[in-house]
A and B are shown apart, each in its own frame.
Chain A
Amino acid sequence: MTTPEKPIPTVTDENRPFWDGCAAGELRMQRCASCSHVRYPVQPLCPKCLDDSAEWTALSGRGEVFAKVIYQRAFNPAFAADVPYNLVLVQLDEGPRMYGNVVGPADDGIRVGAAVAVCFDEVAEGVSVPRFRLATD
């Protein structure tokens, strides 16, 4: 039996700048050209003002753990070797929330409210996935 491969992001014309940013070591999101709302997940128009022009801006990558869960079972067999592994929802300083994994400490050392900073993990040639580390500074 072959070990299934972990999913890599599906890159589309719409979200390519996000994943290009990750490959370049930056967390980039869409900032509305009209009202400055920073939006995520990626979408073609601003949900606040409906303007469809936006610029991709680099975020600080800082935020805090909004919620965390720990998988003790792999619902996708590709993650079997990782169990237990964490999934966190991060409240970014600039407003959006995104999923990620906290790398480094044991899972039970991750607290809701803990400060985190983004880091990037190259999972395939030219493809980096944003994750987070506990921020100590």
Chain B
Amino acid sequence: MNPSRRAAIVGVGLTPQGKLPGSTNLSLETDAFKTALADSGLAKDDIDGLLSEPGTTDMHWALDYLRLGRALGINPKYTGSFAMGGATAGNLVQLAAMAVTSGMAEYVACCFGDAAKTGKRRPLQAAGGYLGVETANNGVWGAFGAATWSAITASRHMALYGTTDDQLGEVAVSARAFAAMNPAAMMRNPITLEDHHASKMIVEPFRLLDCCLVSDGGACVIVTTAERARDLRQPVITIAGMGQGFITQDHECEEWWYGPHQKAAMDRAYAMAGLGPQDVDVAELYDNFTISTILWLEHAGFCKVGEGGPFVQGGRIGPGGELPVNTHGGHLSAGHPQGWWTLIEAVEQLRGASGDRQAPDAEVALVGGRGLVLNTASALLLTGGGR
């Protein structure tokens, strides 16, 4: 990317994550906005772009951006709402980067609020039933629960490559070890591989400790040009590479189960940044289930296809490991503002502000997001330390 046309992240905000009775999608979204605004040192009236992800309990609500703008008293130059599941956070930041580098807006706030734990219930429908009748009809075979698609992926990965229960468990153990060092994480008591194996089966091959948490929470990320960022309060965190990828056809796509769109998104981000896996100091990868981390490591080129299982063994992705992954504890142990905390953690790491869990000399962070019926992917390469 032409360095003069780069964008940067200048403010981040995260509400508490967990059980927050009385909160709503909107209250969490506006709380996070206020936190990010304070973090950036900007004034409300500086924000002229608003992008939103409707909460998961309101996923179809495309008018979320209007409600948000009204609540914040912002009449933006540029706005919209997008629902791409766990890829939304990263892809909204990419849209914001495009908006500020093209001159459509100067400071764009990307916002999310989700009272998924204590707020309104989702309808009882088959996994992915939100896509329409044909997917909803998978309910006749009992295809319920968000674990369905990733369990399918894990089943196939285990059958083809010999990925094991121990290797899935290692991902959970590493995530928890980081969460233990994160005061804001929901689950902080360290676990062992034995604890993983003793946790009950939910959707085989997944045990309880293979599955992410559900939480109430909000998040906000503010984006402007790298040039303007230099005049602001925080260290400049540059958006060096951006990539997206999508599979709309699910089962009509040969390798859908493996997530080729996720690899494509990673490759596109590396190409834009002129960076490769060897340059990455810390990786924040959407871990809705333990298998997701293993797949990302393959997609991002840290190991070969099928070798993600052995890669995670021996503490390689945990604290003090060769490649720190999900240093806040991930969706598995920190909390579930889907894909937003991974992104914000990457910014904190590059600012050197991650406390006990800080990765040494972190200058390049890779962020991956994935969502829906393994349909959407987002990849970001962020750089700090004056790079």
Contact = CB atoms under 8 A, between A and B. Distances in A.
Contacts of A99: 138, 141, 143
Contact of A69 (B138, B203, B252): B203
Interface in B128-151: 133-145, 147-148, 151
Interface of B is mostly: helix
A84 to B, nearest CB: 8
Interface in A21-44: 39-43
B272 interface: no
B130 to A, nearest CB: 14
Contacts of A42: 134
Interface in A94-114: 96-101, 107, 111-113
Nearest to B133: A10
Interface residues of A, number: 43
Interface stretch (B48-56, B89-97, B152-160): B152-160
Interface in A67-89: 67-76, 79, 82, 84-85, 87, 89
B164 to A, nearest CB: 15
A51 B159 CA distance: 37
Contacts of A85: 142
Contacts of B203: 69-73
A120 interface: no
A87 B141 CA distance: 7
B323 to A, nearest CB: 28
A56 interface: no
B70 interface: no
Interface of B: 124, 126, 133-145, 147-148, 151-153, 155-156, 159-160, 200-205, 249, 251-252, 257
Given A79-B142, A99-B143, A101-B141, 20 more contacts: A6-B140, A10-B137, A15-B137, A40-B252, A41-B134, A67-B159, A69-B155, A70-B204, A71-B142, A72-B200, A72-B203, A72-B204, A73-B202, A76-B142, A76-B144, A79-B144, A82-B142, A87-B141, A99-B138, A112-B160
28 contacts: A8-B140, A15-B133, A15-B134, A39-B252, A41-B135, A47-B249, A66-B257, A67-B257, A69-B147, A69-B155, A69-B204, A70-B203, A73-B145, A76-B142, A76-B144, A79-B142, A84-B204, A87-B142, A87-B148, A89-B152, A89-B251, A98-B251, A99-B138, A99-B141, A99-B143, A101-B142, A107-B204, A129-B140
